[in-house]
Structure 1
Amino acid sequence: MKNKKGLLEILREKGYRLTPQRMMVLEAIEASHDHVSAEEIHARARLQYPYINISTVYRTLELLKENGLVTETDLGGGRFLYHPAGKAQHHHLVCRKCGKVSDIDITVLDKIRDQLKARYGFDAELE
């Protein structure tokens, strides 16, 4: 992910206003070094801007997604996490007990994909 200044410039060039709320969401994402939920972003943003609404966070995340600045990951069960775009493509492992998410390199599943194709003629989409 580009730094906050770079992201703000991209939004400005596309004609979007740089509201304090959008800046707080960007700062919360930038400060995270992991995948974060909208609720976690909201909690972080509220530390500096107590009146920010969760719906504002969701709208801002949608705007950032549409402009290729963040990536949304659907972990199933209505659980979505966000991380900066530009991160190398990867898969996610999710612990069923604690919910922890770990990134794994995209090539890890290549052997499994090849075995499924060879044994069963099944072309698995593991992206």
Structure 2
Amino acid sequence: MPETSLAQVLRSRGLRMTPQRQLVLDAVRRLGHATPEQVHALVQQAADSVNITTVYRSLELLEQLGLVTHTHLSHGAPTYHPAEDHQHVHLVCRSCGAVADADPELLRPVAERLHTERGFQVDIAHIALFGRCADCEADQ
């Protein structure tokens, strides 16, 4: 899916384009999976006057606009990634913290069973599975 122009989306909603918003979106796209603090660190390399509050507000707006999405990969801050990325399940290594993507079809049978048996609709794109990655397993 092509990257959506932030300026186009903002204009269509009657909102103003700011360099800070573009920097935050660019940082999320560059980092892939990133916390607001990681986004802030990258944004500050280009514009050291941008504070963490601006990053949080920009991420919130970008999510409302459908350009980024978040998930919770731990007990800490949410992790943001571009919404144009394909839906995926997050695989989080408890040892090294690496995050990998897995095809959501892997969990489709579980989601369907929960829906059939309990009427529960699973949001597969917000699922994070925790374990140990292949590299950490090999180091054991």
The bucket for the TM-score relative to the shorter chain is 0.7 to 0.9
Q: Which runs of 5+ in 1 are unaligned?
A: none
CA contact (8 A) 1:92 1:102 kept: yes
Pick closer, same or farther for the CA change 1:122–1:13 going to 2, 3 Å: closer
Instruction: For residue 3 of structure 1, report the CA deviation from its aligned partner.
Output: 3.3
- Using the alignment, how far apart are the partners of 2:92 and 2:45 within structure 1? 28
What are the equivalent positions in structure 2 for 1:95-106 lying under 5 Å apart? 95-106=93-104
Counterpart in 1 of 2:12?
13
Equivalent residue in structure 2 for 1:92, among 90, 93, 101? 90
Partner of 2:75: 77
Equivalent position of 2:128 in the other structure: none
Please give the alpha-carbon distance, in whole angstroms, between the structure 1 residues aligned to 2:118 and 2:26. Answer: 43
Secondary structure of the equivalent of 2:38? helix
Indicate conservation of the 8 Å contact 1:3/1:30, yes or no. Answer: no
State whether residues 42 and 54 of structure 1, in contact with CA within 8 Å, keep that contact through their aligned partners in structure 2: yes
The Cα of 1:86 is off from its aligned counterpart by: 2.4
CA deviation after TM superposition for structure 1 residue 81, in Å: 0.9
Residue matched to 2:46: 48
Q: Residue 59 of structure 1 corresponds to which residue in structure 2? A: 57
Measured after TM superposition, the shift of residue 126 of structure 1 is 6.3
CA contact (8 A) 2:23 2:43 kept: yes
TM-score when normalising by structure 1: 0.81
CA–CA distance in 2 between the matches of 1:61 and 1:16? 15
**Residues 1:100 and 1:79: Cα distance change in structure 2 (over 3 Å):** farther
TM-score w.r.t. structure 2 length? 0.74
- Partner Cα separation in structure 2 for residue 45 and residue 83 of structure 1: 15
Cα distance in 2 for residues equivalent to 1:55 and 1:74: 19
Contact residue 109 and residue 126 of structure 1 kept, 8 A: no
- Count of aligned pairs: 121
1:108 is aligned to 106
User: Unaligned stretches of 5+ in structure 2?
Assistant: 125-140
What is the aligned-residue RMSD (CA, Å)?
2.4
